[in-house]
Amino acid sequence: MKKILVCNGKGGTGKSTTSILLAGATAESGQVVSIKDIDPQQTSHKWIEKALSDVTHFSQDATPKVIIVDSPPDIKFDQLHEEMLSADLIILVMEPSWINFETAADAAAVIDTLGVSWKTRILFNKVQVGTKMAKNLGEMEDRIGITALKNHLGQRQGYNHFYVYGWSYLSQKESDDVMKLAMEVMFLEPAMNEDIDENTMEVVNG
């Protein structure tokens, strides 16, 4: 069982969109997947009733292969911190804009305090290819100090409509991009020692 937590302290960055797209792609690839929605808004929870896929609500009794945890726009939420500690992978979903950068950096600071940066990855969402902002992804990644996923999500109408119309509504490009992201996320196994600095290693090794 792999638990993937999707978070950001800022509202509207695409936590719920990412959660349901990843859940949809995981179900589409034949894996048993559940969503645990700890956001009082219950966006992802409500989606499951509409979902034209096999995604289920998380229950303590069930043992899905993958659990996606959607979270509220509140980085100080106690239950979020508990989920951060127990997750196998944390996805910090952010829009590539400098205003959104500040709240993503605040979230990264909390993640760092909890000692879970090593299992966290940035997901850039609403990326508009060819824009100046899209060229700044590397700089934002460096400044936040958390590795970004190789795949990101574009600003696409299909991702907006997915909530109601489901997987088959996505264009080929849209579903291919989500599936590539889902595969990267499914197979990613962060190792704690990825954070060990090579210079420190040299000192330790004499």
Ligand X SMILES: Nc1ncnc2c1ncn2[C@@H]1O[C@H](COP(=O)(O)OP(=O)(O)OP(=O)(O)O)[C@@H](O)[C@H]1O
d(CA 196, CA 92): 21
- Number of Cβ within a 10 Å radius of residue 19: 27
Residue list 77-106, contact with ligand X (CB under 6 A): none
The residue range among 7-15, 100-108, 117-125, 175-183 that interacts with Mg ion, by the rule CB under 5 A, is: 7-15
Q: Report the amino acid identity of residue 197.
A: D
Taking CB under 5 A as the rule, does residue 16 contact Mg ion? yes
Please tell me whether residue 14 binds ligand X under the rule CB under 6 A. yes
Q: Does 160 bind ligand X (CB under 6 A)?
A: yes
Q: Which stretch binds ligand X (CB under 6 A): 9-17, 51-59, 111-119, 173-181?
A: 9-17
The least CB distance from residue 2 to ligand X, in Å, is 21
Instruction: Tell me the CB-side half-sphere exposure of residue 133, using CA atoms within 13 A.
Output: 16
Site residues for ligand X, window 19-48 (CB under 6 A)? 39, 41, 43
Nearest-10 Cα torsion for 127, 130, 132, 135: 70
**DSSP letters of 28-54?**
HTT--EEEEE-STT-HHHHHHHH-SS-
Backbone torsions φ then ψ of 123, nearest 5 degrees: -115, 120
Helix (H, G, I), strand (E, B) or coil at 120: strand
Instruction: Please report how close the Cβ of residue 58 comes to Mg ion at its closest, in angstroms.
Output: 16
Residue number with CB closer to ligand X (16 or 34) = 16
Alpha-carbon radius of gyration of the chain: 17
Enumerate residues 140-159 that contact ligand X by CB under 6 A. 153, 155-156, 159
Q: Are 144 and 122 in contact (CB under 8 A)?
A: yes
Among 3, 119, 121, 126, binds ligand X (CB under 6 A): 126
125 scored as a contact of ligand X (CB under 6 A): yes
Does 15 participate in binding Mg ion (rule CB under 5 A)? Answer: yes
Q: List residues near ligand X by CB under 6 A.
A: 11-17, 39, 41, 43, 73, 125-126, 153, 155-156, 159-160
